[in-house]
Amino acid sequence: MTDEIRAEIRLPTQELRNDLPFYMKTLGFRLDMIFPADNPSVAVLSGHGVRLRIEKDAPEAPGTLRILTDDPGFAGGARSLTAPNGTKVEIDELNPPVVTPATEHAFVVRRLADQAPWVIGRAGMEYRDLIPSRLGGAMIASHIRVPDGPVPDMVHFHKVGFQLIFCVAGWVDVLYEDQGDIRRIHAGDCFIQPPTIRHKVLHSEGVQVVEIGVPAEHVTEIDHEMKLPTPHYRPEREWDGQKFVHDIGSKGVFGPFRIPGFEARDTTINENTKGVASVMVARPTGVAAPWTVHDGDILFTFVMTGGMTLEGEGKDPYRLSPGDAFVIPPGMATRYVDPTADLQLLEVTLPGNPPTRVVSR
């Protein structure tokens, strides 16, 4: 008796002898089984992490087979082929570079009161889209709620250019590759997850986070081999030039902000991403803020507590409350007015620390 289990994908054929040279010589599959000997009608081949059963007169459609490789000479350099049995073969890059589309700039205001739907996503988490346009695919911003208790997560990583997790309520426990034992973030704390760092969400209570990802569409892969926590603690390790950051809000110090009339707490993310992005928590000082214009690319803001009115040139004013978010395009004059004393803004900019000018109106 054996516990071994195998899975096969069945593909149809009309004439097996025409398919074998293509699958074996052109695509590099290995023949594992063929029968009957006198007039073969079934062949089983394996390779590239898949097992194929090519069967004469099988009822299925020929389907599409995707092969991912870094070998530019694979299959003679072809990117698209058709097997004799009609199966389409697509050949693509194994590890394509992360490409961020050019930002489609827009003035965006997303209010919690507008009742944008919460959607069930990965691992049972609830997602609320904060930038429906995704700025042309340049970024995604999500307001996420995680059900209380253990999280059914697996060790995984993201093929991404930049990713932020900022906790706005509750707490959550996470394990990160080479960053020691369990790390817990509370409201006001944040992580950045450098590209491809392995991690796993463990447990949460009342947690809500804002997650920023660049580009908007990026791949999440499961790592079935890595066990967390890893045995080595390497806080200085870099992934694509970025370091892991765990910023604790209660230990932050407020200093000057790019907008007069506000001060901000720097999360050190600009330094640890080498200018890829900056993440600041801003609050009013009691002095009226002027009209300003930024000269960066992406400027996203989420209202964590309190309220204010956002004024923009040529736009009606918006009174903003906790859970609201907005994007200000470069070159557009805006002003933050009538802030409440408890106002706290999460500001994420790419690249980090954009030049900002005071303008007259």
Query: Is 1 within a domain?
Result: no
Q: Cα–chain-centroid distance for residue 110? A: 20
Sign of the C-alpha dihedral computed for residues 183, 173, 274 and 331 taken in this order: negative
Query: Is 180 within a domain?
Result: yes
* Each residue's pLDDT tens digit, 131-153: 999 999 999 999 998 888 998 89
Average pLDDT taken over every residue of the chain:
95
Instruction: Give mean pLDDT, residues 119-124.
Output: 74
Query: Is 121 within a domain?
Result: yes
Q: Which two tokens stand for residue 275?
A: 């200018």
In this predicted structure, what is the pLDDT of residue 1? 52
- Examine the fold and report which residue of 213, 248, 283 is the final residue of a domain before the chain moves on: 248
C-alpha distance from residue 336 to each of 114, 200, 341 (Å): 21, 38, 13
Element (H, E) at 19: helix 16-21
Query: Is 4 within a domain?
Result: no
In this predicted structure, what is the pLDDT of residue 69? 96
* Cβ-contact 44, 34 below 8 angstroms: yes
* Cβ-contact 33, 40 below 8 angstroms: no
* Each residue's pLDDT tens digit, 7-65: 999 999 999 999 999 999 999 999 999 999 899 999 999 999 999 999 999 999 999 99
Residue 80 has pLDDT above 90, yes or no: yes
Q: How far apart are CA 219 and CA 50, in angstroms?
A: 21
Query: Is 164 within a domain?
Result: yes
Query: Is 54 within a domain?
Result: yes
In this predicted structure, what is the pLDDT of residue 119? 83
302 has which bridge partners? 325, 346
Work out the pLDDT band at 90, boundaries 50, 70, 90: very high
Considering the domain architecture, whether residues 115 and 221 belong to the same structural domain is answered as: yes
Considering the domain architecture, whether residues 127 and 239 belong to the same structural domain is answered as: yes
Considering the domain architecture, whether residues 153 and 184 belong to the same structural domain is answered as: yes
Q: Is 337 exposed, middle or buried (0-12, 13-18, 19+ CB in 10 A)?
A: middle
Considering the domain architecture, whether residues 185 and 287 belong to the same structural domain is answered as: no
Element (H, E) at 21: helix 16-21
* Each residue's pLDDT tens digit, 220-277: 999 999 999 999 999 999 999 999 999 999 999 999 999 999 999 999 999 999 999 9
In this predicted structure, what is the pLDDT of residue 239? 96
Considering the domain architecture, whether residues 226 and 319 belong to the same structural domain is answered as: no
Q: Which two tokens stand for residue 160?
A: 């991404």
Cβ density class 172-200: b for 16+ within 10 Å, e for less: bbbbbbbbeeebebebbbbbbbbbbbbbb
Furthest-apart CA atoms within the chain: distance in Å? 91
Considering the domain architecture, whether residues 297 and 221 belong to the same structural domain is answered as: no
- Examine the fold and report which residue of 198, 214, 248 is the final residue of a domain before the chain moves on: 248
158, 141, 161: which is closest to 99 by C-alpha? Answer: 161
* Each residue's pLDDT tens digit, 164-221: 999 999 999 999 999 999 999 999 999 999 999 999 999 999 999 999 999 999 999 9
Considering the domain architecture, whether residues 49 and 123 belong to the same structural domain is answered as: no
Considering the domain architecture, whether residues 242 and 175 belong to the same structural domain is answered as: yes
In this predicted structure, what is the pLDDT of residue 189? 97
Q: How far apart are CA 149 and CA 201, in angstroms?
A: 11
CATH (domain of 176): 2.60.120.10
Domain containing 321 equals 251-359
Collapsed DSSP state (helix, strand, coil) of residue 222: strand
Considering the domain architecture, whether residues 147 and 159 belong to the same structural domain is answered as: yes
Considering the domain architecture, whether residues 263 and 330 belong to the same structural domain is answered as: yes
Q: Which of 65-69, 122-126, 324-328 has the lowest mean pLDDT?
A: 122-126
% of the chain surpassing 90 pLDDT: 89
Q: Is 327 exposed, middle or buried (0-12, 13-18, 19+ CB in 10 A)?
A: buried
Token pair 């395009």: residue? 329
Q: Which two tokens stand for residue 356?
A: 């900002």
Query: Is 265 within a domain?
Result: yes
Phi, psi of 32 (to 5 degrees): -105, -30
Q: How many domains does the chain divide into?
A: 3
Angle at 167 between CA 240 and CA 322, to 5 degrees: 125
Q: Cα–chain-centroid distance for residue 88? A: 30
Query: Is 97 within a domain?
Result: no
CATH (domain of 74): 3.10.180.10
In this predicted structure, what is the pLDDT of residue 2? 60
In this predicted structure, what is the pLDDT of residue 4? 86
